[in-house]
């Protein structure tokens, strides 16, 4: 089997031009607030997935 040679740029997902425009229109504080919101959302989604996959686990075990 031939090994494919991928460059780093082939593995990076670039943002859509519309998303870039939205981000550029935000203040630095708004971008930071959005980043914190998305981090909290990701943690909640991971928590929900772990709780669903392991209903026998306690909250402490999930955390």
Per-residue pLDDT reduced to its tens digit, 7-61 = 766 778 888 999 999 999 999 999 999 999 999 999 999 999 999 999 999 999 9
Query: Distance between CA atoms of 18 and 2, rounded to whole angstroms?
Result: 38
Q: Is residue 50 part of a domain?
A: yes
Q: Is residue 4 part of a domain?
A: no
Phi and psi at residue 32, to the nearest 5°: -65, -45
Q: Is residue 6 part of a domain?
A: no
Q: Is residue 34 part of a domain?
A: yes
Domain housing 34 = 28-63
Q: Is residue 16 part of a domain?
A: no
pLDDT at 18: 95
Q: Is residue 1 part of a domain?
A: no
Query: Distance between CA atoms of 4 and 16, rounded to whole angstroms?
Result: 26
- What are the respective helix, strand and coil percentages of the chain, to the nearest 5? 70, 0, 30
Q: How many domains would you assign to the chain?
A: 1
Q: Is residue 15 part of a domain?
A: no
Pair of tokens at residue 26: 């935000």
- Provide the Cα torsion 38, 41, 45, 47; round to 10°: 120
């Amino acid at each position: 089997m031939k090994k494919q040679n991928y460059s780093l740029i082939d593995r990076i997902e670039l943002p859509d031009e519309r998303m870039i425009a939205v981000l550029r229109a935000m203040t630095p504080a708004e971008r930071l607030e959005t980043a914190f919101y998305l981090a909290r959302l990701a943690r909640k989604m991971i928590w929900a997935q772990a709780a669903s996959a392991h209903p026998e686990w306690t909250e402490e075990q999930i955390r």
